[in-house]
Amino acid sequence: MAIGEVYNNIKNKIPENVTLICVSKTRQIHEIKEAYASGARDFGENKVQELMEKYDNLSGDIRWHFIGHLQTNKVKYIVGKVHLIHSLDSIHLLKEIEKRYAAKDEIANVLIQINIGKEATKTGIAVEDISLLIEACEECNNIKIKGLMATIPIGNEESCRKYFTEMKSIFDNLKTFEYKNVSMEFLSLGMSKDYKIALEAGANMIRLGESIFGNRDYKK
């Protein structure tokens, strides 16, 4: 099945309020154009250099999502080019985003990335440190927190549901408070193998790569 057909097939089966992000890392320009031609406008990249190359070669109405670990020394390159940063995971990164976006008089829309599985190999803030990050964001002028993101540990359906449910609970709890510069609009959970479980748990933003483009060839 062609990329465009697959995209529309998935899009037609998920709720209207869910944002489907096509994870286009390692994908060729022509593959992205095929998804775009079928209506896709939200694309996700996890490396700044690759995002920059594609940004310069593709349509200006694409909404680029940065979904990988964002190094502080790379923030300056994405100012004004990224629709949503999914991976705010420290006060150190928050301050760098604030500085770089303020210098260009731009607003950064971001999600807090939570290391919900407490995995040493994954980035993301610890649940107990969320309040400190939010307090720091309330002091900013050029950052708006729009919700939460997580990449959960690999596991079976039961463990996936557990982590997604925990994330939804944190999301709902934060919604009950009023913070400056913070609104819980997006819960970015679920990838190709587990997005259906994520949707059942309450995610309204999913990140799909292989489900749309086919198996990824990292040797390319």
Structure tokens at 140: 């900013």
Is a pLDDT exceeding 60 seen at residue 218?
no
> Which position has the higher pLDDT, 146 or 216?
146
pLDDT at 47: 97
Is a pLDDT exceeding 80 seen at residue 219?
no
User: Residues 62-99: pLDDT tens digits?
Assistant: 999 999 999 999 999 999 999 999 999 999 999 999 99
Query: Residue 156's domain spans which residues?
Result: 3-213
48, part of any domain: yes
pLDDT (average), residues 39-60: 95
pLDDT (average), residues 166-170: 98
Mean pLDDT over the full length of the chain: 96
220, part of any domain: no
pLDDT (average), residues 171-187: 97
pLDDT at 60: 84
Q: Assign residue 105 the CATH number of its domain.
A: 3.20.20.10
Instruction: Give the count of beta carbons closer than 10 Å to the beta carbon of residue 126.
Output: 12
180, part of any domain: yes
92, part of any domain: yes
pLDDT at 59: 81
218, part of any domain: no
3-state secondary structure of 51: helix
Per residue, what are the HEC states of 111-175?
A: EEEECCCCCCCCCCECHHHHHHHHHHHHCCCCEEEEEEECCCCCCCHHHHHHHHHHHHHHHHHHH
29, part of any domain: yes
Q: Could you give the number of structural domains in the chain? A: 1
pLDDT (average), residues 190-196: 95
Is a pLDDT exceeding 90 seen at residue 119?
yes
The confidence band for 132, taking pLDDT boundaries of 50, 70 and 90, is very high
pLDDT at 34: 96
Report the alpha-carbon distance of residue 152 to residue 204 in Å, rounded.
16
Using CA atoms, how far residue 184 sits from 29, 148, 170, 178, 187, in Å, is: 33, 7, 10, 10, 8
pLDDT at 1: 82
202, part of any domain: yes
Q: Is the pTM of this model over 0.85?
A: yes
51, part of any domain: yes
The confidence band for 217, taking pLDDT boundaries of 50, 70 and 90, is low
